[in-house]
Chain A
C-alpha cells in the first residue's frame, strides 16, 4: 500500500515537471526524433510509455546506454503520456533536449 501511494505522488510530480518542460523547454516527441536526438547527443532525458513495444524499448535503452543518457519508464501508456504532454495524440517516447525551468533532469535519475 505504501508503495502504491508513493507512486501516485511521484507520478503527479513527473506530470507537473513534464508540463513545465512543455511550456518552457525543448523536447521532441516520437521514436524517430528520439533516436535522432540520441545520435546527435542532444537528448538529456528519454521518457518511454509503458506500452511501448519491447523491441523498440530495448533499442531506445541501448542507444541511451551508449550515450549515457537517462531513461525514465513512464507509469502510463502512450495515451497517458500524450495527455501529460498536453497533446491530443499518443506519444510513445519523448526526448527532453532542454528542460527550461524544470528540474526534471536533476530529480529523475535519482528516482528512475
Chain B
C-alpha cells in the first residue's frame, strides 16, 4: 500500500535494448500521458558499467576505468523490475521529458548524467548500482 515507483528508486530494465541494465527513476507518470496512456517513467541508466578499479592502477587508468556510459529513456512500468535500492542523485534539472525530443538534447542530458554518475561512482557509494547484473 506504499507507492514504491518514485523518483530515486533503482530499477532494472527488463525489455528492450537496455534489458538487464540498472537505472534510476527520474520522473514517474503514473496516470500516463496522452501519447502513452499507461503508467511509465523517465529513467536514466548505465549503458556501460564502469570497470573494476584496483589500488595499483595509475591515475590515468582509474580515470579510464571509471567511465560510465548513460542512457535516458521513457519505460513502461511493466518493463521494469523495482528493487529495494535507491540512488540519491539529483537529475531532475538535467533529465526532463523534453530532453527526449531531439537527438542533441538527449545527448546533452546523457552527458550531464554521465558526469553525475561518474562522480558518484568515485565516492564509492551506491556500489550495487554500478556493478553489472550477472545473468
Which A residues are closer than 8 A to B by beta carbons? 35, 39-41, 43-44, 59, 63, 65-69
Interface contacts (Cβ under 8 Å), in number, total 27
- A63-B82, A66-B82, A66-B84 given; A40·B30 CB < 8 A: yes
Report B133 CB to chain A, min CB distance, Å. 15
Report B68 CB to chain A, min CB distance, Å. 26
Supply 5 further A-B pairs (C-beta < 8 A) apart from A40-B3, A66-B84: A39-B39, A41-B4, A43-B1, A66-B4, A68-B1
Report A14 CB to chain B, min CB distance, Å. 21
Which B residues are closer than 8 A to A by beta carbons? 1-5, 30, 39, 77-78, 81-82, 84
Structural contact, A39 and B1, CB atoms closer than 8 A: no
Report A76 CB to chain B, min CB distance, Å. 26
Residues of B within 8 A of A63 (CB): 82
Residue of B nearest to A66 (CB): B4
Structural contact, B4 and A67, CB atoms closer than 8 A: yes
Considering the chains assembled together, what is the distance between the CA atoms of A39 and B4 in angstroms?
Answer: 7
Partner pick for B1 among A35, A44, A59, A65, CB 8 A cutoff: A44
Structural contact, A67 and B77, CB atoms closer than 8 A: no
